[in-house]
Chains A and B, each alone.
Chain A
C-alpha cells in the first residue's frame, strides 16, 4: 500500500467519523436532555407531627443528592388545603407535584382532566405496595390510575389514659360492652369518659363509621353509597346512628361535644381530663419526635359482641401524590415521586411515624407504635375509608358531617339523620 493510498484512507476515515459523529453523540445528548432538572414545586398538607418531620426529612435527603432537581415545598393547613389546591389547579397555576386525599378528590381532578394518568407507572411498581386494592380504589377514575398511594391511616383504635383507668379500677376494655361499662364507671366517679370535639363534623363521622362497619359491614356501606341494593335508611344504618347518639345521651362525651373542635378534644385528652380519645393513626405519628407528656395506651376499637362483621375496620389511603397536567416541570416531579415511593424514600417516611404503603417500609423502619397499628390494619378483612370521600361532597360534608352534630344536639333522630343522607344521595344521582 502506497503512502498516497494511506493518506487517502486516513482522509476517508476522518470524513466517515465526522459524518458518524452525530449518530454516536445523539444518544448522549438525548440522555442529557431527558435528565430532569430545575425546581419541583410541591404542595402538601403536612404541617404537623410525623407528617411535617417526615416531609422535611424526605426533602433534606433529596436535596443532599445534588442531582440538579430541587424541591420547593409549600405546606398548607388541612382546613384550607383543598380550597387552595383546587384554586391553583383551576387557575392554571398548580404545583409540579401535588398531594391530595384520594378517592373523590382523585375523581374530581381526573374528570376535569387536571391530573396526569399514572397507570403505566402503577402497573410497573404495583408489586412494591401493600394493600393494593385499597390503593387502587383511592387513585382510580374510569379504570385508570391517577395517583401514587403514600400513607394509610387507620381509624380503628381508641387511645386511652392508663393512669385514669388505673385510678378508677378499670381494665383496658376488650369489647364494646366493657367499654360502655368503663365509661359508666368513669362518669359515676366524675371523670369525663371520652374527649370529643364534633364541631367540624368528621370526628362524629368517624365514630358513626366505627359503628357502621360493625352493623352493616364494608360491603354493605359501599352498596348504599353506590346505590346497588342497600340504603342508608336500612335498619343497620339507623342502628349505627343510634349507637353514636347513645354515647351522647349517656353523657360519655366531654361537655363541648357539639362546639369544640378536634384540637380542643385532643387538648382535653392530653391534659388528662378524659380517659378515652378515638381518632386516626395520625395522632400517634409524631410521638417519636415529640412524645406526649402523659402515658398513652392504644387499644383496637372495642368490638360489639353481636357485631355482624367482626373483621371489618375503618381506615383509608389518606395521602396520595400525583402530577397536575399543567405542571411546569413534570419530568422532575416524576423523578421526585419515583424516589419518594422507592424503599429509600418510604423508609424515611416510615421512620417519622407514618404508615407508608410501600411494602416493608413500616416493618423495617417505623416506630413500634406504628408497627403495631400497621399489623392491625393488615389483619383486617376489609376497611371502610372515610365515607365523606366516597360520597358526593354535598352529601358527605353536609348531611353526614352536619348530621352527626345534629345527633349530638338532639336536633335529629337516628331515623331523620339516615333519611337526610339517603335523600341527598338520591338527589345527587338525578
Chain B
C-alpha cells in the first residue's frame, strides 16, 4: 500500500513560519534562552572578555599599576618577541612538551584502556587507581614531586642508591638535561587517567557483533584490535590528541611549582614567561603578546584537528 504523506507535511508547513531560522525560534528558541543564558554569560564574562582584553593589551605598553597609564604601541611587542631568546626557547619547550606529552598520554591511555577492556581480574580496581592522579590538583602534584625528586630530602636518589644504581642519582629538577623530560612524564602521569576513561567509553560502544564476526572469520586477538577496534577508535584518538595538545600548551601550574621555569630557563614555557613578564617585570603588554602567540598556536591546532581528523563513518 502506498502511503501519501504529502498532505500531512503540507498541513504542518502551513502552520509554521516559512524560513528555517524563524521556524527554529518558533519551535525551540524561547525554550533555549533560559537554558543557554547562564552559560553564555559565564562564557562571555570569564572567557571572551578576558580574551579580548589580553588581545587588546598585547598592543599596549602597561606597567600594570594604573589603568590610566596604558599606552598604545601597535605591533612593538610582537616585534620585540623576535629578539627575545627566552621567548624562542620557551616556544621550543612548548612544542617539545606538546609532542612528548601528547604521545605519552595517548599511548599509555590507549594501551591501558585496551588492557582493562579485556575484563581481566581487578579491572575496575585499576580503572579507579589510574584515574586517581587526574583528580589531584596540579599544585599538589607539583609540591609532592618537588619533594620526591629533591636530591637532599627526596625519595628517588636514596631508592636508586639502595638498588645499586647510585651512579644515576642526580639533581633531577636542577639539571637542565633532565628537567623538561621529567615534567613531561609527571604531566603524562597526572593526565592519562582521564583519557583512558574516554577510550574505555568508546571501546564499550563498539558493537560486540563486529568482534564476534572477526573471530568467526578466524581473526586473532591482535588482528581484532588492529583491524576492528583501532580503526573504530580514530575519532576518539583524534579528540584525545586535541585535548592533550591544548592541555599541554596551557601548561603553567606544574612548571611554576616544580621549577619556576628554571634552572636558567631550561623548563620555561610560554605561559610561565608571559606570567613573569606581566606580573614580575611589569610588562603587561609584552606578557599579553606572548599569550596571544600561544592562543594562535592553540587555534591552529584546534582548526587542523576539527577539519582534518574527523572520521566519516564510525559505529
B65 contacts A256, C-beta separation under 8 Å: no
Residues in A with CB closer than 8 Å to B147 are 264
A258 contacts B66, C-beta separation under 8 Å: no
Task: Decide if A415 is an interface residue (CB 8 Å cutoff).
Answer: no
B176 contacts A267, C-beta separation under 8 Å: no
Task: Decide if A39 is an interface residue (CB 8 Å cutoff).
Answer: no
Interface of B, secondary structure class, is loop
Interface magnitude class on chain B: 35 or more
Which B242-269 residues sit within 8 Å CB-CB of chain A?
259-260, 262-266
Of the candidates B65, B260, B281, B282, the one whose C-beta lies within 8 Å of that of A199 is: B260
A92 to chain B, nearest CB (A): 8
As a 0/1 sequence over residues 252 to 296 of chain B, the CB contacts with chain A under 8 angstroms (1 = contact) are 000000011011111000000000110111110000000000000
B263 contacts A112, C-beta separation under 8 Å: no
B264 contacts A409, C-beta separation under 8 Å: yes
B282 contacts A112, C-beta separation under 8 Å: no
Task: Decide if B71 is an interface residue (CB 8 Å cutoff).
Answer: no
Task: Decide if B174 is an interface residue (CB 8 Å cutoff).
Answer: yes
As a 0/1 sequence over residues 109 to 123 of chain A, the CB contacts with chain B under 8 angstroms (1 = contact) are 101111000000000
Task: Decide if B151 is an interface residue (CB 8 Å cutoff).
Answer: yes
Most chain A Cβ neighbours within 10 Å, of B69, B147, B262, B281: B262
A198 to chain B, nearest CB (A): 8
Which A389-406 residues sit within 8 Å CB-CB of chain B?
392-394, 397-398, 402-403, 405-406
Given contacts A255-B151, A256-B150, A258-B171, contact A412 B64 (CB under 8 A): no
A112 contacts B65, C-beta separation under 8 Å: yes
Most chain B Cβ neighbours within 10 Å, of A82, A111, A201, A394: A394
Task: Decide if B67 is an interface residue (CB 8 Å cutoff).
Answer: yes
B174 contacts A408, C-beta separation under 8 Å: yes
Query: Can you report 11 residue pairs joining A to B where beta carbons are below 8 Å apart?
Result: A83-B279, A199-B262, A255-B171, A256-B154, A257-B171, A257-B174, A264-B153, A393-B280, A397-B276, A397-B281, A406-B264
Mark B residues whose CB is within 8 Å of A: 63-67, 69, 146-147, 149-154, 157, 171-176, 179, 259-260, 262-266, 276-277, 279-283
Beyond A256-B154, A397-B281, 14 additional pairs, beta carbon < 8 A: A86-B279, A199-B262, A254-B152, A256-B174, A257-B174, A258-B174, A259-B174, A259-B175, A260-B150, A260-B152, A264-B153, A398-B281, A402-B262, A408-B174
